[in-house]
Structure 1
Amino acid sequence: MFHKFKIGQRVRRAQSSPTDERLGFGTISEVVRLMPDDPTGEPSYRIRSGSAERAVRESEIIAAA
């Protein structure tokens, strides 16, 4: 499947939780790696905010303004 976001693009979580904010994901993150589609066929990414990094599905992030 086609990846909507590119490496280096700034994104943010579509819905942040208190855990996300505690880990530093309530702010702007950067796409650091395009990952294979998950079992449902949805593209996945590795994003980084500060020193924290996590995997997310495309539906979980939006482009940062």
Structure 2
Amino acid sequence: MAHKFKLGQRVRRTRTHQTDERFGFGEVGEIVRLMPDDTTGEPSYRMRSGSAERAVRESEISLAS
């Protein structure tokens, strides 16, 4: 699958069944790396927010306004 987001874009973590407030729900950050699709075929990314960096799936983020 092709990646929907590009390097440098600002994104927000959205609520999914796997996220909650303790782990960055609503967090805004920047895409710093496009990663290979995960085992389900969904594109993945590295997202940086402040000094923290985390792996996220495409379904867990949306474009920040």
Structure 2 unmatched runs, 5+:
none
Runs of 4+ in 1 over 2 A off after TM superposition: none
| Superposition CA RMSD, Å | 1.4
Structure 1 unmatched runs, 5+:
none
Q: Give 1:19's match in structure 2, choosing from 18, 22, 28.
A: 22
TM-score (structure 2 length as normaliser): 0.86
Kindly state the Cα deviation for residue 4 of structure 1 after the two structures are TM-superposed: 0.1
Task: Report Cα offsets for 1:8-64 as digits up to 9, x if no partner.
Answer: 00000011622124xxx6331100000000011000000000000000000000000
- Match runs of 1:19-58 below 5 Å: 19-21=22-24, 26-58=26-58
CA distance in 2, matches of 1:26, 1:50: 14
Conservation of the 8 A alpha-carbon contact between 1:20 and 1:26: no
Alignment size in residue pairs: 62
Identity %: 69
Task: State yes or no: 1:2 paired with 2:2.
Answer: yes
CA distance in 2, matches of 1:20, 1:49: 12
TM-score (structure 1 length as normaliser): 0.86
Structure (1/2) with the larger helix percentage:
1
